[in-house]
Structure 1
């Protein structure tokens, strides 16, 4: 395998820029895609998120941009605002030439400001389909000098219903342009799109040796009744006590309802979904990264914009419908060499989905029983003991010693310590009577042995895509 960017055909200026950014070795998708794109060929790149796709298409684009011309020379379509920002920021860091302007265009921001910026000149545009189409229809966005068109996260474009807009945009770009499609999967609709709009494309497919990273501990908790899913989640959060977590749900309504429930119980949590304005999303992301919010309840599509390197937990509120979605979700934890935990809440009716996921990730995922009150209280005491040990080593301890001396004239020193611990313990969110009743009704009359998902005898060929 090529070991250095300089051997892929990139200019010395670009290689030096990458070295300053700390990039020394290209990823497999970069090794295969960059030379093809530098030759001007159309390409279909199939690889999971997090494999370096952005650099794979943006580095060749930057090599071919004419900085003297202010016309739009490259257009990159992304399914979400957050991804448009992320991609544009990456290209900005790679460009090495101050005369090249990269502009993100998406809804939720002033279109007048974006119009002004386009008229001033921007060689690279990164945008969402709706805003790009709006600017085209207004006659502001002119693509007659476009040399490269990139469709990023094509399968997500399909899931979000943007393919009609993509077709309209592709119908407005010059036929002489180079076209690149990048997608984690290749649904039939995307395949038909490639046949219609790409010319003799080269297909590059990167297969991951392990469908899910080894540094992610994958477990599931049993949901005895569907109506008890929220109660089970609350007990799991108590038992696992994630430092940071994304809790994936199916709908915006679920995100709102679950967030309200957890906030009412005293947890540090907020919701993240498509109904939020761009400023609300950016504010929440900032708070999440600053650890002002511990947990975020998010829908799949909105969560495309959440990137936190030290995320400790990913929680699937229910079992995802597709194996690829499962892998994409859990891949948000266990990054940069850190260990992560992926938890799925699984009802008996979802056990077949769990079997398919196990086939796909090629490992067994143990399904544990619903946590009990005794387990939760034991976990709380363990945490409290750890906090006590830290406090005993801290500098603030001395300021409380006079109070202890005063109280010890009346009470036994062990009773004073126990009272302090009780006060600290009582500050945890209460395990309410309502929650206990929900769990008691839901809990099956079985012992607490681990319930394991039956392993299928044979792995189908489709599960190893």
Structure 2
């Protein structure tokens, strides 16, 4: 049974911020972990990466932050600086309160700058074990009054050799704190930490999401450096020309901006989000189902009522926050035995999130370059050929045969057909706003990832 955030005893301030972000329904890990955390219990959460674990611990922490206390009240440990950045960003988005000071601490950045910010008063620290230990040893980071310690991706952290560092950090933290471990797997080494440092924890286990349906073709495009996502989307739409599509964005503002951009290019598209009245939603849904509107730009929550039987494409303009949402999104196409296409746009910093998705859908998703001009022209000609085949079998063809017979007295029949095709092609191009198309797309990713352990050791 799905639960909303309103069912989890969160404050009205937090619920209002979640609503502004377009979040209403909680994922399973959030629904099970948030209540005991709000009650002051320690929690061990076992769930795959990408199931919404960050919000599961971020929301209860944000509920308890006292902005008048100029000291560290929460410490979140992550195995890599990439994850630390993601957690930091999640805290900022879920907070919506500029008075709450959140600091990333990891190698590769100036430690002096991090020390300055700690001295000014930081409420939440998100960092890697190596840099946290360094700041503790210097005396700049104090955990004697910390209320929360969270280990995120605990199994990955210990597999990278951080067990001693984690124990050192936990020993220096206040004894009356709340502690939470989140991990994809619970190994014996993690249970040893649980016994040493946690008090009667609640254990929450979430089953792995189902794999994505095989009948859905999943495509991933890298946004070239210096390009906006809206700009990168144009050549993809030109080549795919979706018959009907839902384009997913994260926020209502993003839905409005992208819809305006696509409409200015002459596309049949409308926005669908929480600001619409019920009557507006119903009218749009009716128009979408009757194909009066080809594409809809929507947030996850708003799109729950957008069930369209013959949806040909799902486009992830913004990747979702968790894998459950990804599978739910793309599962809207390819129904009733039909083929479907799911397209995702990513930026370089989202490669980790893509790896999480790949693990859950149990497929390797090759990153493609944006379609170039020759590919798009080939698709346009193919569409014209298909239109020609449909026209030949249509009822109106007979009314044009006398004109063809007359022209055939002066010109070769092949030349007449080619001229008619040229006119049709040029007419279609005239009704299409030109978009910038790369001659060469973005590079595909390397198939050999850099070892995370070596990277982290360098950061320390």
Q: TM-score, normalised by structure 1?
A: 0.53
Aligned to 1:362: 362
Secondary structure at the aligned position of 2:338 is classed as coil
Would the aligned equivalents of 2:223 and 2:345 in 1 still touch at CA under 8 Å? yes
Question: In structure 2, how many angstroms separate the alpha carbons of the residues matched to 1:411 and 1:288?
Answer: 45
Q: Considering only aligned residues, what root-mean-square deviation do their CA atoms show, in Å?
A: 3.6
Paired residue for 1:192, among 35, 38, 45? 35
Confirm or deny that 1:276 pairs with 2:119: no
Following superposition, the deviation at residue 364 of structure 1 comes to: 0.8
- Residue 385 of structure 1 and its aligned partner are, at CA, apart by 0.8
Q: Which residue in 2 is equivalent to 1:388?
A: 388
Residues 261-311 of structure 1, C-alpha deviations (whole Å, 9 max, x = no match): 222222221111122222111111001111111111111221111111221
Q: In the TM superposition, what whole-angstrom CA distance separates every residue of 1:302-350 from its partner, at most 9, and x where no partner exists? A: 1111111221111001322322221221121122332211110112221
1:294-373 to 2 correspondences below 5 Å:
294-373=294-373
Aligned partner of 1:425 in structure 2 is: 425
With over 3 angstroms needed to count, the CA separation of the structure-2 counterparts of 1:407 and 1:421, relative to structure 1, is same
Alignment of 1:168-317 (within 5 A): 184-187=27-30, 191-192=34-35, 207=207, 210-225=210-225, 227-317=227-317
Asked whether the equivalents of residues 243 and 312 of structure 2 are also in contact (C-alpha less than 8 Å), the reply is yes
Residue 376 of structure 1: how far off its partner (Å): 0.6
Instruction: Report the secondary structure of 2:353's partner residue.
Output: helix
Secondary structure of the 1:276 match is coil
Matches within 5 A, 1:4-15: none
Moved more, 400-409 or 296-305: 400-409
8 A contact 2:218–2:365 mirrored in 1:
yes
Whole-angstrom CA distance in 1 between matches of 2:314 and 2:10 = 22
| Residue 260 of structure 1: how far off its partner (Å) | 1.9
- 1:410 to partner: Cα distance: 3.4
Counterpart-to-counterpart distance in 1, 2:391 and 2:9:
50
Q: Which residue does 2:416 correspond to in 1?
A: 416
1:218-255 per-residue CA deviation (whole Å, 9 max, x = no partner) reads 11012113633212211111212222110001222221
Superposed, 1:128-143 pairs within 5 Å as: none
Kept in 1, the 8 Å contact 2:251–2:299? The answer is: yes
Change over 3 Å in CA distance of 1:157–1:213 after alignment to 2: farther
Relative distance call for 1:312 and 1:161 in structure 2 (3 A) is farther
Structure 2 gap segments, 5+ residues each: 17-24, 40-202, 453-460
Contact in 1 for aligned 2:5/2:26 (Cα 8 Å): yes
State how far apart, in whole Å, the 1-side matches of 2:284 and 2:219 are: 28
Distance 2:357 2:419 in 1: 48
| Cα separation, 2, equivalents of 1:424 and 1:373 | 19
What is the DSSP-based 3-state SS (H/G/I as helix, E as strand, rest coil) of the residue aligned with 1:403? helix
Structure 1 pair 454–334 and aligned structure 2 pair: CA distance change class (3 A)? farther
Q: Is the 8 A contact 2:246 2:296 kept in 1?
A: yes
Distance 2:259 2:433 in 1: 20
After TM superposition, the score normalised by the length of structure 2 is 0.54
Answer yes or no: is 1:397 the counterpart of 2:240: no
Q: 1:228 to 1:204 in 2, by over 3 A?
A: closer
Alignment of structure 1 residues 16-35 onto 2, 5 Å: none
Residue 154 (structure 1) aligned with residue 15 (structure 2): no
Contact 1:222/1:347 (CA < 8 Å) preserved in 2? Answer: yes
Residue 309 of structure 1: SS of its match in structure 2?
coil
The alpha-carbon distance between structure 1 residues 454 and 209, as it changes in their structure 2 partners (threshold 3 A), is same
Which whole-Å CA distance do the structure 2 matches of 1:220 and 1:378 have between them? 20
Deviations, residues 365-416 of structure 1 (Å, cap 9, x unaligned): 1111011111011001111111111211222211111121222233332222
Q: Which residue does the alignment assign to 1:138?
A: none
Counterpart of 2:88? none
Could you tell me how far apart the structure 1 residues matched to 2:218 and 2:228 are?
22
In the aligned structure 1, how far is the partner of 2:332 from the partner of 2:450? 27
Counterpart-to-counterpart distance in 2, 1:297 and 1:160: 29
Contact kept in structure 2, 1:312 and 1:340, CA below 8 Å: yes
CA–CA separation in structure 2 for the residues paired with 1:226 and 1:160: 40
Aligned to 2:44: none
The answer on whether the counterparts of 1:351 and 1:453 sit within 8 Å (CA) in structure 2 is: no
**d(CA) in 1 for partners of 2:414, 2:220:** 40
Task: Give yes or no for contact 2:28–2:206 (8 Å, CA) kept in 1.
Answer: no
